[in-house]
Amino acid sequence: MMFMEADKTEGRLIRAYGDWINEYAWDHFATLTFARRASQEGAEKSFNGWARQLERVAQQKVSAIATIEGLHWGHVHVHALVQGCERLDPRQLAEAWKHGMKTIERFDPELGAPYYVAKGVGRGDGELVIRGSPEKRSQVST
């Protein structure tokens, strides 16, 4: 019975975080891995370095929300939503990540990426990282 209650709580947390993340106007969804073992601090430093590189390429501020996962089981990776790179092709974002494998695609609100980013925090095995000041969808001019 306790496991069922924990599963319900986990699901509610993922839904709540995902709903909150989904309020923002994202450009790309990224999964970033590390070829070598990484700590939370190392992963966060690498992620922020990647975002700074994107700012240089995009020539504007880049905001992001990410979850650093795998901290408890040793396969550290990052799931991130990025804002401020709307003019960049996913290949340009991929070229900027030098630490391991990467999968980057344009954000599609129908595919549930905010909930995927939220799952690590909701399950308790991820750390949330917010970079910059993401704008909500209603704040972004079309």
Based on C-alpha coordinates, what's the Rg of the chain? 15
pLDDT tens string 71-125:
766 789 999 999 999 999 999 999 999 999 999 999 999 999 999 999 988 777 7
The token pair that represents 22 in the structure block: 């989904």
Tens of pLDDT, residue by residue over 10-39, are 788 899 999 999 999 999 999 999 999 898
Q: Which of 17, 6, 41 is nearest to 121 (CA)?
A: 17
Total residue length of the chain: 142
Residues 43 and 49: their CA atoms lie apart, in Å, by 10
Residue type, 137: R
CA-based nearest residue to 32, from 93, 89, 120: 93
- Residue 16 CB coordination number (10 Å): 13
| pLDDT at 2 > cutoff 60 | no
Residues 6+ apart with CB under 8 A from 109: 22
